[in-house]
Copies of this chain bind each other. A is one copy, B any other.
Amino acid sequence: MMELTGQSFLGSRRGTRSGAGFQAQNPQTSEALTPLYYSATPAEVDEAIELASWAFASYSQTSGKARAAFLRRAADGFDAHKQELAERAHLETALPMPRLLGEVGRTAGQLRMFAGVVEEGSWVQSRIDPAMPDRQPLPRPDIRSMLRPLGVVAVFGASNFPLAFSVAGGDTASALAAGCPVVVKAHPAHPGTSELAGHILAEAVGAEGLHPGVFSLLFDAGVEAGSALVRHPLVRAVAFTGSLRAGRALMDLAAARPDPIPCFTEMSSGNPVFVLPGALRKGPAALAATLFGSFTLGAGQFCTKPGIVLVPEAPEGQAFFDELKALVEKSAPFTLLTSGIAREYGRATKERAAEIPAAAQAAAEAGPACMAGAKLFTVCLEEFLAKPALADEIFGPNTLLVHCDSTQDFARAAAALDGHLTATLLGDDDDLAANRELIQVLEQKAGRLIFNGMPTGVEVTHAMVHGGPYPATSDPRFTSVGSLAIYRFARPVCYQGFPQAMLPPELQDGNPLGIIRLRDGKLEQQA
């Protein structure tokens, strides 16, 4: 058992117990959980960042193999403490144990995926344009480039995945893999889980003999530590998953710096689902059950929760609504992550309910503490298009059915959408072929297009894109899940006219690391 002390991690040192205290709350009981957590003082925030900046000098020079060993040691730590992590997370989040045990596994898996990527090494996009000493009118010098780490990265833990998107989640794993030291701001809703994850990472840093500044973890009851992180001159990039309001505030802080820095925030997504005729024909009951399972998964607190469902009017369309209504009305309360989320869920669903006739909605009873009832709303397309607020994400177990006259209206509905993480099409192959134009519009609106699946399943693979145009994220060119996530934290650096001995191995003649490289823009022949 790892001890919980409530203190921040400043590299290998622990923070003081002088900052404002706060405690996690059990969302099922509203009980405060021990221990008391201490907000990092401004001096401690600075210390963590300065340590990280010192660490960069050596950590940025480590080999992919060394970083892989470090990430794998951390992954082993998660495996070794699986039960302990899941139990604490369960107390702090009320998420079910099987889900949390799975999430520990995913966290370890993400660390190992990035270990594999940097051990193999080709991710650095090595490019070599050899010298042309005889070129007229001037010789061409030798020019080589590869990706190098950005510098210190500030990571903000998310509330809804207390492990996989938190202290040692995908943001931290990808930044560390890229060669960037990380300073994490823990999410205050699960400080105990965060401290356990911090222990595992700090131990891995020590065991691998890395500079202790490679990883720090700051607790804070408020927003001061986070703001200080984003403003600090030595911080070179930011990664965040959370609400639109908080994410936009960080984007604005990063953009207002004397020297703006890359700030990837993953924020808000309605994850529209387009129900094509073939899907309804297969039976509205099964479809309703699948959709209900998806929008209530994790108590409806997934970034990829299907919050907007477009259905064509048809006999099956009504049956689909009736099935979904029945599922919602008989559902047991869902425990939300925090009392703040529960309050906001109550407020936002009440506001939406007031705009919609009673016959066009369904609701389950809420419970005590953070327990909320599932909600279903329906509107017609014209109303949806006339009231943009209907497209706003409401975090929690609810969704909005949008009734369209026919699938002819889908392209118009799609064109009106903001950016989303996902867009889903349900139907048969003929439906898909008949909706090429719709797909082209959706491609502009989302980072991931799904055919006949639910968006809540997010695979951690090489081709995964968990991103999308604003407000889904701050920058549609990046993803926070999958191995492409590493590209948020690296920048190309070009070496011109350098002697072989002074080049990184990734750029040396003979390709000592055996990586994929481009020579004059063409794939280099393997030796």
Contact = CB atoms under 8 A, between A and B. Distances in A.
Interface of A: 57, 60-61, 116-117, 120, 122, 127-129, 138, 140-141, 143-145, 148, 150-151, 236, 251-252, 255-256, 259-262, 418-419, 429, 432-433, 436, 439-440, 443-444, 446-453, 457, 459, 461-465, 467, 469-471, 474-477, 479, 483-484, 487-488, 490-499, 501-502, 516, 518, 520-521, 523
Contacts of A443: 148, 493
Contacts of A60: 440
A265 to B, nearest CB: 10
Given A141-B459, A521-B462, A251 B259 contact: no
Nearest to A493: B443
Contact of A260 (B255, B259, B464, B498): B255
A499 B461 contact: no
A57 B414 CA distance: 14
Given A117-B521, A453-B497, A477 B262 contact: yes
Contact of A465 (B61, B236, B494): B494
A451 B496 CA distance: 6
Given A433-B502, A449-B493, 17 more contacts: A61-B440, A127-B463, A140-B461, A141-B459, A143-B461, A143-B463, A145-B465, A150-B476, A251-B260, A432-B498, A449-B494, A452-B497, A462-B518, A463-B518, A465-B493, A465-B494, A476-B491
Contact of A463 (B259, B449, B494): B494
Chain A residues touching B, majority SS:
mixed
Nearest to A248: B260
Contacts of A143: 459, 461, 463-464
A491 B516 contact: no
A201 B462 CA distance: 38
A329 to B, nearest CB: 28
Given A61-B440, A116-B521, A516-B523, A493 B448 contact: yes
A463 B499 CA distance: 16
B518 A450 contact: no
21 contacts: A129-B461, A141-B457, A141-B459, A259-B469, A260-B470, A262-B475, A439-B502, A447-B492, A448-B493, A448-B496, A449-B493, A449-B496, A450-B496, A451-B499, A451-B502, A453-B496, A461-B521, A462-B520, A467-B491, A469-B491, A483-B521
A451 B497 contact: yes
Contact of A145 (B262, B464, B476, B490): B464
Nearest to A526: B523
A440 B56 CA distance: 10
A358 to B, nearest CB: 33
Q: Which 5 pairs of residues, A with B, have the shortest CB-CB distance? A: A255-B255, A465-B494, A127-B463, A448-B494, A462-B521
A491 B447 contact: yes
Contacts of A129: 459, 461-464
B520 A444 contact: no
A195 to B, nearest CB: 30
Contacts of A448: 493-496
Contacts of A444: 151
